Amino acid sequence: MKIAVLMKQVPASATLGVDPETGNLIRNGETLINPADERALSLALSLANAQVSVITMGPESAKDLLRTAAAYKVQDLVLVCDRAFAGSDSFQTTRVLKATLEHLGGFDLILCGNRAVDGETGQVGPELCAMMDIPFCEDAVSIALDGETLTVKSQNTEGEKTVSCPLPMVVSTNLGAPILNPPSILGLRRAAKAEFTVLTNEELQLDNTGLNGSPTRVARTRTAQVAKRKSEKVTDAKIGAERILSFLSEVEHG
């Protein structure tokens, strides 16, 4: 069974910036792996006898993500990197990922996070299933394989559901899925010697990519200003309760 795990390197919240040309969020320093994507890798590794490939699209620095993934039982590590893809919106990103999956020979299961913390669009998974014309299941917290049928348990604010579907399919995961366990010492040694496959548009042969080919783009960005509110520290429980009741009474009566 061949599994592709789509993972993204995202900026740590304290290092966010905005590219003045594209309007996209950029990294000014520390980065991390998108948390939901880590859960996707965790689910992939939970299936026995699976050949797992980790794919990331981004700049050269995204190799750090692949080095982290290399510490686990992953067979292939793929970086999709080309200036032609810069500024891609979710639609163009999905086009590139679809071409990558096809270039690599196709997969039985494609796992990804339900959304990335630097964009929060949640569009790549659904768009990918539509482009590839295969089933999609969102917000997975566990998966189980029985022959060619995958059973997915999903959980979100609307409740829980369990669905079974024949492969191939796309599955997105949320933060309810199991966390990725720390790698073993042997895994860390393996990661130090890991080799990556780098794909550019020379291999994928896509036209009209990147910012110029994106049907959506950021028109304007701004930094939200949070007003400072008056606060009062109260150490006496009785006085604190009285203050709270007084405040609630003022709110209720305008």
| pTM, 2 dp | 0.79
H-assigned helices in 90-197: 90-103, 124-132, 185-192
The pLDDT confidence band at residue 94, using thresholds 50, 70 and 90, is very high
pLDDT score for 14: 46
Res. 47: pLDDT tops 90:
yes
Res. 23: pLDDT tops 70:
no
Which CA distances in Å does 203 have to 8, 26, 149, 206? Answer: 21, 26, 32, 9
| Token digits of residue 143 | 């998966």
Q: What is the mean pLDDT of residues 44-70?
A: 93
Which of 24-33, 111-120, 157-166 holds the top average pLDDT?
A: 157-166
Contact 127/107 with Cβ under 8 angstroms? no
Query: Which domains occur in the chain, in start order?
Result: 2-213 (3.40.50.620)
Which residue's entry shows tokens 């320093």?
29
What is the rounded average pLDDT for all residues in the chain? 87
- pLDDT tens for each residue of 196-208: 999 999 999 999 8
- pLDDT tens for each residue of 211-246: 888 888 777 666 666 667 777 788 888 888 888 888
Residue 247, exposed/middle/buried by CB under 10 A (0-12, 13-18, 19+)? exposed
**b/e sequence 137-161, b meaning 16+ C-beta within 10 Å:** bbbbbbbebeeeebebbbbeeeeee
Q: Is 177 left (phi over 0), alpha (psi -120 to 50) or beta?
A: beta
Contact 5/37 with Cβ under 8 angstroms? yes
Q: What is the mean pLDDT of residues 11-34?
A: 61
Q: Pairing state of beta strands 149-156 and 159-166?
A: antiparallel
